[in-house]
Amino acid sequence: MKSVNYSRIPIKRFNPEERIRGLDLPTIVPYTLDEVVAESSRCLGCGLCIQGCPARIDIPGYQIAMANGNIQEALKINFEKLPFVAVCGNVCPHPCEDVCVLDDNKGSIATRQIKKYVSENSEKYRDILKVKKNDLGGHPNVAIIGAGPAGLTTAFYLSINGINVDIYEATDKAGGMMIHGIPEFRLARNEVWKEIDHIISYGARIFYNKKVGKDVLFETLMEKYDSIFIGIGNWNPTKTRIKGEDYANVHHALEFLGRINNGEKIEVGKTVAVIGGGFTAFDAARISLRIGAEKVLVLYRRAKEDRPGYPSSNAEEELEEGEEEKVEFIWEVSPIEYTGENGKVNGIKYWKNEMVDNGKGRREPVPIKDKEYFLPVDTIVEATGQKGDFSFLPPGILEKLKMTPGGDVIVNQYNMTSYPGIFAGGDITNKRKDIISGVADAGRAAMGILVYLKSIGKIERVPYRLTNYERGPYSTTYYEIKDERAESLI
């Protein structure tokens, strides 16, 4: 008799020596349908993972659907909370998998990889979802600032509820960091365009090259619209400000990745050093190999086990993918100075650090200053963080907007800021700073905006659910908020 195999179906990657030969050659080999069905069938249906997903997607619901090979139903369940199924199927850090009860036993359910299959095998979302627009008794106007995942998700859930949505986007493309930041070898652009086209097919308009504060004033939006959602992301680079940062071939990772992702060629020479340890540092390192670097080193100030995202299965996968491609890591170092000649950088002076437990939780890196080290390099990429740029807000609004000491906007349960009618979400509000958290913010904000619009008499009703399409038997949860309770939160 054949016994049931409860082990996780392994996720394969393409050969690292081959995949680094092109900017758009994918890293992960998709599951086959048989693999998806087998993997989904391992799900015990406990639902712990729902708590791990910031958007609280009904994961067991779509595992049951896929265990039955029902791709369309799995797509519909995802869309209750997430209009970026392909994006998250490829690059979500999948915190849901870290809380799976099977994690310590035979391997957590490969939720992200299953989502990838669902999206890549659902050609026409509109035909599958057959969304019926909710009629809320009014069609007010809402402005969204920024066409990143947070702004676009808000646009989706508002549009399908009959709200007129205008999105103001500073660049010539929608997608935010999904296009300008994340490299194509992790996220195929046709998948992103497919999802953005689907979102705007419900009526939201995008005005490109319209930076609020420069091309259109925030005050004008205040006059013209009934509510505003701010989803501008963190686009202001945080630099190290160490000596030598002005050399021509020292880049900030946002500028570096943005230029390469938009088709520009950058000469990096033989050796590239990346300063940092998060998503952006790994992407800057791996993209450098694909544009000609022979040796890439990541220098991070903390220890390997203190890097951003650790401990998580995503952090492990990220490191494995980099190591397979021969990215080298130098942990526990502090750059002192970038050296150079004729305006070009040629090396980094650095100290080694020791990690000190100061009793405040995360260990602190403290430089050991009695010995300096030197690393010859041709290019340096600083992946040392970024912040939101709120200079577009008039002083009267900025003063009233409550912020954290770190510069994030403070919002309530519905992602409304301290200024009534102005909502915010994505990297400028949440702590995790990933796509699924921005999507979760946007779902809450969309509901909050509807509640606000009703409170000012622009619509007659607030829906129980943001989506309104037929679903099959597999969904195990609903996200419904009763009208009266919702209003009391605003």
Ligand X SMILES: Cc1cc2nc3c(=O)[nH]c(=O)nc-3n(C[C@H](O)[C@H](O)[C@H](O)COP(=O)(O)OP(=O)(O)OC[C@H]3O[C@@H](n4cnc5c(N)ncnc54)[C@H](O)[C@@H]3O)c2cc1C
In whole angstroms, the minimum distance from the beta carbon of 304 to ligand SF4 comes to 24
Task: Using CB under 6 A, pick the residue from 8, 115, 286, 458 that binds ligand SF4.
Answer: 115
Minimum CB–partner distance for residue 62 and ligand SF4 (Å):
8
- 74 lies in the site for ligand SF4, by CB under 6 A: no
Candidate residues 77, 91, 92, 450; the one interacting with ligand SF4 per rule CB under 6 A:
92
Q: Residue holding tokens 């390099």? A: 377
Q: Which of residues 365-394 bind ligand X (CB under 6 A)?
A: 392
Complete DSSP assignment for 87-115:
HHHHH---HHHHT-TTTTTT----HHHHH
Closest of 437, 325, 389, 322 to residue 54, by C-alpha: 437
111 binds, among ligand SF4, ligand X, none (CB under 5 to 8 A by kind): ligand SF4
Residues from 229 through 288 that contact ligand X (CB under 6 A): 231-233, 235, 257, 279-280, 283
Q: Which does 276 bind (CB under 5 to 8 A by kind): ligand SF4, ligand X, none?
A: none
Nearer to ligand X by C-beta: 189 or 211? 211
Contact 115, 138 (CB under 8 A): no
CB 83 within 8 A of CB 126: no
Considering the complex, what minimum distance in angstroms separates the CB of residue 111 from ligand SF4?
5
- Ramachandran angles phi, psi of 474, nearest 5°: -90, -20
Is the CB of 31 or the CB of 279 nearer to ligand X?
A: 279
Among 31, 62, 168, 229, binds ligand X (CB under 6 A): 168
Report, in Å, the least distance between residue 385 CB and ligand X: 10
In this chain, which stretch among 10-18, 111-119, 145-153, 243-251 interacts with ligand SF4, using CB under 6 A?
111-119
Task: Output the smallest distance, CB 112 to ligand SF4, in A.
Answer: 4
Rounded Cα distance, 150 and 490, in Å: 20
Which uninterrupted H or E stretch holds 284?
A: helix 279-290
How many residues sit close enough to ligand X to count as binding (CB under 6 A)? Answer: 38
Given a contact cutoff of 8 angstroms between Cβ atoms, the answer to whether 32 and 39 are in contact is no
Q: Which is nearer to ligand X, 282 or 351 (CB)?
A: 282
Minimum gap (Å) between residue 254 Cβ and ligand X: 6
Q: Looking at residues 428 to 457 of the shown chain, list those that interact with ligand SF4 (rule: CB under 6 A).
A: 436
Q: Which residues pair with 354 in a beta bridge?
A: 366
Q: Is 53 in the site for ligand SF4 (CB under 6 A)?
A: yes
Interaction partner, residue 213 (ligand X, ligand SF4, none; CB < 5-8 Å by kind):
ligand X
d(CA 437, CA 426) in angstroms, rounded, equals 7
Phi-psi label, residue 398: left if phi above 0, alpha if psi -120 to 50, beta otherwise: alpha
149 in contact with ligand X (CB under 6 A): yes
DSSP state of 119: H
d(CA 422, CA 437): 19
Q: How far apart are CA 27 and CA 14, in angstroms?
A: 6
Judging by beta carbons within 10 Å of its beta carbon (0-12, 13-18, 19+), is residue 23 exposed, middle or buried? middle
Report the greatest alpha carbon distance in the chain: 74
DSSP-H helix ranges across 291-346: 313-324
Closest contact distance (angstroms) between CB of 359 and ligand X is 31
Question: What are the tokens at 16?
Answer: 């690292």
Closest approach of Cβ 420 to ligand X, in Å?
21
Q: Cβ 75 to ligand SF4, closest distance in Å?
A: 13
Q: Distance between CA 91 and CA 94 in Å, rounded?
A: 8
Pairwise CA distance, residues 133 & 466, whole Å: 10
DSSP 8-class letter at 2: P
Which partner, ligand X, ligand SF4, none, binds residue 170 by CB below 5 to 8 Å per kind? ligand X
Residues that bind ligand SF4 (CB under 6 A): 53, 55, 57, 59, 82, 88, 92, 94-96, 111-112, 115, 436
Return residues touching ligand X (CB under 6 A). Answer: 91-93, 145-151, 168-171, 176-178, 181-182, 211-213, 231-233, 235, 257, 279-280, 283, 392, 426-427, 433-436, 438
